């Protein structure tokens, strides 16, 4: 049986998450479906509940709903508590478990993809100028998606080929 996942946001048509998760599924042999869901600005909870009732297994959450996702959860990870926001939901029986994979995605991108060692260093990232346009968010996006995929599926996909494929497009 195919497990169903989605990314929920507003706007959402631009999201690369379906392509990323499809690539992860092919790579790891996982049977999943992953789609975009546009939630009305005043309808996040209803969108989540409808998707869950229709057999959804979990969802990623993007703007502007990360605070609402945090509040919706029955169980919240320490990472989500630290951020006071959630971008990951897992539907486990009658409960909703929330996490935040953004920090893991950022650190994996900086350390693994960009080769910048962070151990023992203090970092400050500000603005979106020239330096920020180098990491362009794609590495972080793919890395946080890989963390979500791992939390849902128990297998960590290779991110480098997915990042490379998306850069070509």
**Ramachandran angles phi, psi of 21, nearest 5°:** -70, -30
129-138: which pairs have CB atoms within 8 A and are 24 or more residues apart? 135/109, 135/110, 138/16, 138/163, 138/166, 138/167
SS3 76: strand
Spatial strand order in the sheet of 75-76: 32-38, 3-9, 56-61, 88-92, 95-99, 75-76
Catalytic residue among 16, 35, 66, 169: 66
- The answer to whether the CB of 67 falls within 8 A of the CB of 15 is no
To the query of whether residue 16 is one of the catalytic residues in this protein, the response is: no
Are the CB atoms for 62 and 87 separated by under 8 Å?
yes
> Which residues carry out catalysis?
66
């Amino acid at each position: 049986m195919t497990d169903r996942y989605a990314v929920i946001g507003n706007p959402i048509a631009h999201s690369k998450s379906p392509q990323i998760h499809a690539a992860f599924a092919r790579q790891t042999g996982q049977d999943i479906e992953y789609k975009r869901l546009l939630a009305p600005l005043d309808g996040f909870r209803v969108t989540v509940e409808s998707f869950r009732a229709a057999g959804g297994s979990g969802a990623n959450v993007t703007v502007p709903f990360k605070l609402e996702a945090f509040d919706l959860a029955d169980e919240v990870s320490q990472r989500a508590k630290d951020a006071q926001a959630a971008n990951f939901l897992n539907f486990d029986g009658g409960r909703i478990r929330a996490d935040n994979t953004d920090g893991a995605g950022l650190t994996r991108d900086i350390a693994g993809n960009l080769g910048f060692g962070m151990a023992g260093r203090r970092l400050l990232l500000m603005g979106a100028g020239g330096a920020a346009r180098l990491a362009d968010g794609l590495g972080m996006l793919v890395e946080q998606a890989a963390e979500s995929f791992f939390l849902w599926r128990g297998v960590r996909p290779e991110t480098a080929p997915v990042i490379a494929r998306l850069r070509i497009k």
